[in-house]
Amino acid sequence: MSVGEGELVQLIEPGRVHRRVYTDPAIFDLEMARIFGTAWIYVGHESQVKNPGDYFCTRIGRKPVIMVRGPDGEVRVIHNQCAHRGAMVVALEQGNAPEFQCCYHGWTYHLDGRLKAVPLQHGYPREFDPADPKTSMLQVPRVESYRGFVFASEAPDGPDLTDSLGYMATSLDDMVDRAPDGEIEVAGGVFKHTYDGNWKLYFENLCDAAHPLFTHRSSIEAAQQQSDAAHSDGTGEIALRQMRQNGAPYSFWESQVGIWTYPNGHSFLGDYHDDAKLVAAMNDPTFRDYRGALEAKKGKARTDEVLAVRRWNSTIYPNISFMSQFQQLRVVHPIAVDRTVVHAYTFRLKGAPERMFRNAISFANTVNGTGSLVLTDDLEIYNRIGIGLASEGTEWLQVGRGFTSDVPDAHGGRRGKNSTSEVYIRNMLDAWLAYMTNGRAAQAAA
Amino acid sequence: MKRALRRDRHPPKPAPAPREKFPPLDLARCERFLMHEARLLDDARFDDWLALFTEDAWYWIPTEPDQQSPFDTVSLIYDDRRLLETRVRRLASPRIYSQEPPSRTSRMIGNVTQEETSTDGFVCTVRSKFMVLENRRDSQRLFGGTAHHRLVQLDGKVLIAWKRVDLLNCDAPLDGILVPL
Ligand code: FES
Ligand SMILES: [Fe+2]
């Protein structure tokens, strides 16, 4: 079943969205073609493929792809599909290879995907041309890196990456600028979590300032009641501070945090921490050392500038959510209309004290861990939305909070009067509709 | 490569009491202890489970099969004592929505061996294999793998100084883990 453009436009109204957007398999298929098949999709970070031959396997939408650094030093993204009879060629998640070889009949490929050798080639018809670019592990047509973050687009033409990022590039800057040596690297492993619900639910939750106080009550209260006299090796200390901070009252979210949105579905939530350990605080020894390292490399004025950027989660639509203060980045992999997998990574700030990284790991375990006291309740929410929507109760989902009080902002943006505005969801739905109608129905929900 | 099963940061405390009053930690006692722990967890007696741990214990489920440290790589669970207390308190909360309805678990433990035993026999590392069936809402999950317990005997009581649980599917996409494994 296909979904007509007229129908798509009717699914989004000012301040509300039809539940089909989250439940209809035909819409999901269209999303894979029109959003994940055209937009700039984050595939990985250059530090995951440092040397020629290094590769990292991931997905663009549902398509398995390989990010690989060629002998020329160039990072490319190629489809993980053999040109012979379609087998997945590279089976390990990451590694290093001089070339790729399919284990079915031994077709061999250069690292840029071009066919290198075919056993028993004499048996193929005369028209078979191994040099034909179509007979290769096809390259994703456009690949661009922004300060080490590698994005790929399946659309042969379109806006370039920096145009598409717009002002949100500053959130990626914020990730990198915090490194005293000016570089970050993926380190510390990966979390993979999964839920039975639509991929969009993840982004709609990550900047949701109205939910922590409610959804995370069990961990907030358990943390508030925890005695700090109990032994900690530092892990529990970071975790407890984060959980207690989630208990900030509504008045705090309403008055002090802020939410900003930008074209193409991007947005960020303001920092909501006033805890002396989780923010730039001179009385924390680790942070003092870190600040010292930054000042030594960048000077005091620049350091002040870097640390003055105070953002919590940033969303680059349609597939990453990241935060700079503890160097986290989550990649959302849509599997089916009601199934999603999220991979959560941590970065090391080069030149920062090792303790910073250790704190980032503790923080990752707290907010992104599969067994975390916080994330488990978010996963429960995604699953419950999945189940709830199947009831086919209320047709229209309300995303109108803040609708009448949002205000225009610089850089083509729009921000909530306060952080509990659902403006970031409306902004993503605007982008959704624009992608889904190939740009013809932009801004319907604005 | 041999797995790092202990960290130097928390050498087990020497038992203060006159030890000769109590029998050392032989395999049979270790086995009985593991059964007891599993039963507490299956019965959702989490406070009693917490009471099995020493004051500076840690509890660890790595994300990687040969993970060397909980400090340089993320973990499905890595709790120091303070966080473990919070975890257990949360499990009793009426507002723990991810346990509404609660999970039910059923555990089997086997292949128990004593890997390292102190010369006086009051501190040892016990290796075991486990399977945990977990049922919640409409689905049942199966966890399995290898557990290492560092057991110490203090005043005749067996306690856990640390516990490491290596899940066979530690690096697979997983939905939330609520009930300790
Ligand atoms: S399918 Fe790859 S060589 Fe035949
Ligand atoms: Fe949350």
- How much is the average pLDDT of B12-39? 81
Band the pLDDT of B13: cuts 50, 70, 90.
Answer: low
Rounded Cα gap, residues A200 and A31, in angstroms = 11
Instruction: Report the distance separating Cα A255 and Cα A251, nearest Å.
Output: 6
The residues in A 180-209 lying below 8 A from B, measured between CB atoms, are 187-195
For atom 1 of ligand 1, the residue with the nearest CA is A85
A138-164 in b/e form (b: 16+ CB < 10 A) is ebbebbbebebbbbbbbeeebeebeeb
pLDDT attached to residue B134: 98
Residues with CB in 5 Å of ion ligand 2: A 378
Whole-number pLDDT of residue A256: 82
B153 band by pLDDT with thresholds 50, 70 and 90: very high
Considering every ligand atom shown, identify the ligand nearest to the alpha carbon of residue A312 and give its number. 2
Domains and CATH numbers, chain B: 23-95+103-167 (3.10.450.50)
The pLDDT of residue A97 is 98
Q: Which residues of A touch B176 (CB under 8 A)?
A: 193, 370-371, 375-376, 379-380
Q: pLDDT for B62-112, tens place per residue?
A: 999 999 999 999 999 999 999 999 999 999 999 999 999 999 999 999 999
pLDDT of residue A8: 96
Q: Out of A194, A237, A377, whose CB is closest to B174?
A: A194
Nearest to A240 among B67, B86, B172 (CB): B86
The answer to whether the Cβ–Cβ distance between A190 and B175 falls below 8 Å is: no
Contact check, Cβ <8 Å, B9/A230:
no
Predicted TM-score (pTM) of the model is 0.94
The pair of three-digit structure tokens given for residue A231, joined into one six-digit string: 């032994």
B78 at A interface, C-beta within 8 A? yes
Report the pLDDT value the prediction gives residue A254, as an integer from 0 to 100: 85
Nearest-CA distance A224 → chain B (Å): 9
**Domains annotated on chain A, with CATH:** 41-148 (2.102.10.10), 180-445 (3.90.380.10)
Q: Is B121 left (phi over 0), alpha (psi -120 to 50) or beta?
A: left
Residue A431, min C-alpha distance to chain B (Å): 28
Any A CB within 8 A of B51 CB: no
Give pLDDT tens digits for A123-179: 888 888 989 999 999 999 999 999 999 999 999 999 999 999 999 999 999 999 999
Q: Of B21, B13, B91, whose CA–CA distance to B53 is shortest?
A: B13
The answer to whether A153 and A142 are in contact (CB under 8 A) is: yes
The tens place of each residue's pLDDT in chain A, 446 residues long, gives: 578 989 999 999 999 999 999 999 999 999 999 999 999 999 999 999 999 999 999 999 999 999 999 999 999 999 999 999 999 999 999 999 999 999 999 999 999 999 999 999 888 888 889 899 999 999 999 999 999 999 999 999 999 999 999 999 999 999 999 999 999 999 999 999 999 999 999 999 999 999 999 999 999 999 999 999 999 999 999 999 999 999 988 888 888 889 999 999 999 998 877 655 455 555 688 888 999 999 999 999 999 999 989 899 999 999 999 999 899 999 999 999 999 999 999 999 999 999 999 999 999 999 999 999 999 999 999 999 999 999 989 999 999 999 999 999 999 999 999 899 999 999 999 999 999 998 876 544 44
- pLDDT given at position A443: 47
Distance A335 CA to ligand 1 centre (A): 25
Do B69 and B162 contact (CB within 8 A), yes or no? Answer: no
Pocket-forming residues, ligand 1, beta carbon under 6 Å: A 82, 84-85, 87, 102, 104-107
pLDDT in tens, A180-231: 999 999 999 999 999 999 999 999 999 999 999 999 999 999 999 999 999 9
Distances in Å between the Cα of A126 and the Cα atoms of A108, A122, A129 are 20, 9, 8
Report the chain A residue with the minimal C-alpha distance to residue B9.
A233
Tell me which residues of chain A, numbers 231 to 250, contact chain B at a CB-CB cutoff of 8 Å.
231-237, 239-240, 243
Best mutation target among B73, B78, B84, B86 (most A Cβ atoms within 10 Å) is B86
pLDDT of residue B173 exceeding 50, the answer is yes
- What is the A111 CA–ligand 1 centroid distance (Å)? 16
- Compute the nearest-CA separation of A354 from chain B (Å): 9
